[in-house]
Amino acid sequence: MDPRPDDARFPVDQLQVGDLLLMLGKSQLSKLIAWFGDSRYSHVSLVSADGLLIEGIRPAVKESPLADRLAADGPVVFVDAYRSLAADGGALDADDRAAVLRHARSMIGTTFAQDDLVTIGLLVALRGKPRHLPVWLRWLIREATEHAIRADSDRMLCSEFAYRAFADADTVPARRLARPIVPGEPSDLPFPDVDYAKLQEEVREMLKPKHKVLERGVVGAEAVMESAPAWDTVDALELDDATLDASIAALRTRMGLESPHMENANVVDGLFGAGLPALGPPNPKLVRPRDLADSPASRYLGRL
């Protein structure tokens, strides 16, 4: 499980090409992405050259200055650095890191038309969902999965981009640099402290113009939501497990994933199961930021 690096610091100038940067965004949706991903991280980027990073981020895979991400007024709470190793745990040589960078750069400009709400929908579809959800979270999951279905997206998570930068690099033999992924046990991370007013603003912005009811509020919502902001509460209260499961299954069908996995995932009580094969290469679409941090080919360096 990813560490709690409260004190350890790592100098930015000692990063190497191909190192992984795992981070938590400042938005309320980022908190939920991290929780649904069973981790403290909501996003992962790849260290490029000359003070740059490459990442799968809306609207397309891009390369940008690392300094912008680390600025005090930047979009993240913290950034943790991980040294990328060879699949056997040894050091990557310069040629290996160059191969990873070439492939990562070859994906620059690839459409990545998904927002944080789509990411939550994909995580739920890929990894399952917890039971006994509060009304507002049931509503959010349903909206997230339907939003992901409607989105003009290649449905690639940021962690899939990072995984493919290694797995699909031009090496002999092929996939020599693929990150080994070890299925981990579900964590006991507490549910995040969500600012419901800010969360509603973020969701409202992403759902425009779908749910006009969010613009005018819902009378009596406070009685249902325990003083939380107004959601589409009538719709949410009528959202039973079968309806919610149907929405998730529809997204899985669009993603080309088999239904038995969904059935297995839905029986999990609490946080959802890992959903990764015990042997053999993983489905890149199932790789989370946590999986990259936990890989034997990653070594924690410190917090930037």
The CB-based long-range contact list for 63-70 (8 Å cut-off, 24+ gap) reads 63/105, 63/108, 66/12, 66/15, 66/21, 69/21, 69/23, 69/45, 70/12, 70/304
Below-70 pLDDT ranges, the chain: 1-7, 113, 128-131, 152-156, 209-238, 257-280
Q: What is the pLDDT of residues 185-217, one digit of tens each?
A: 777 788 899 998 899 888 888 877 555 444 444
Give all strands (DSSP E) within 66-148, no chain letters: 76-84
296, 180 Cβ separation under 8 angstroms: yes
- Report pLDDT for 189: 84
Position 68 scores a pLDDT of: 94
Q: Which residues of 63-100 are buried (b: 16+ CB within 10 A; e: fewer)?
A: beebeebbeeeeebeebbbbbbbebeeeebeeebbbbb
Q: Where do runs of H (alpha helix) occur along 40-115?
A: 66-70, 94-106
The residue count for the chain: 304
pTM for this entry? 0.83
Gap between the Cα atoms of 237 and 153, Å rounded: 29
